[in-house]
Amino acid sequence: MDNEFSIAIDKKCVAEMPTVNFAGAITVIERAEEVAEAVSYLRGHDVVGFDTETKPNFRKGMTNRVSLIQVSTADRSFLFRINKMGFTPELREFMECDGLIKVGLSLKDDFHMLHQVGEFEPRGFVELQEMVKGYHITDASLQKIYAILFGERISKGQRLTNWEASTLTGPQMVYASTDAWACLHIYRYLTSGAFDPASSPYIVREEEKAEANETADASTETEKVEEKG
């Protein structure tokens, strides 16, 4: 395969795509006694999608603890509200089990935040940002990776909402579930062999990238000269 290309997509192109949402069943877990049954169900699968949500803090230098862990199969999503019930032993067992593949994105950040609420040794995780590099994809965001592969857009409209609200809204539940499900969907698609990087409409040749960088540098120098003049 020709290695002299990468795959990347423009933000404007993504914005024009139709949105995609998780269409399966969503179960919200708010009580510790409900976790074991949910985890048992998830461990009956070979691979699941994984993500977390944290209530935004708009004060500089301040962060909140993780509010939600979302885990999804192809047709069912579980939203674990750890801000209400804590990081239970069953969730720790889930994070540490290596007999189940858990697919996520920016997992290092998720683990760092989760270690503020409980100790665990993550096992069985697959980092999509590393995985897609093997398919020439250089974009690192879930939204862009999904757009490249499926021509659909994951809406980020609920990202900065209150994840510690007494009750999650419908849009919040769908958003959280979609992110976890999308990680699984991407993994399944890539491992199936259905994606041919050389046929992607979003290929950027290395020579084109170099020319674009040169044009950008020239424009910057022109602006500097004009400013001095």
Beta bridge partners of 26: 77
Q: What pLDDT, in 10s, does the model give residues 50-79?
A: 999 999 876 676 678 999 999 999 999 999
More confident residue, 217 or 141: 141
**Residues in Cβ contact with 5 at an 8 Å cutoff, skipping those fewer than 6 apart:** 136, 197, 198, 203, 204, 205, 206
Calpha distance 217→185 (Å, rounded):
38
pTM of the model: 0.87
pLDDT given for residue 208 in this prediction: 60
More confident residue, 156 or 128: 128
Provide the percentage of residues in the chain whose pLDDT is more than 70.
Answer: 86
For 58, phi then psi, to 5°, come to: -95, 10
Calpha distance 10→166 (Å, rounded):
37
pLDDT given for residue 211 in this prediction: 54
Helices marked H in the chain = 11-15, 35-42, 82-85, 89-96, 107-114, 128-131, 142-150, 170-191, 206-228
Q: What pLDDT, in 10s, does the model give residues 161-200?
A: 999 999 999 999 999 999 999 999 999 999 999 999 999 9
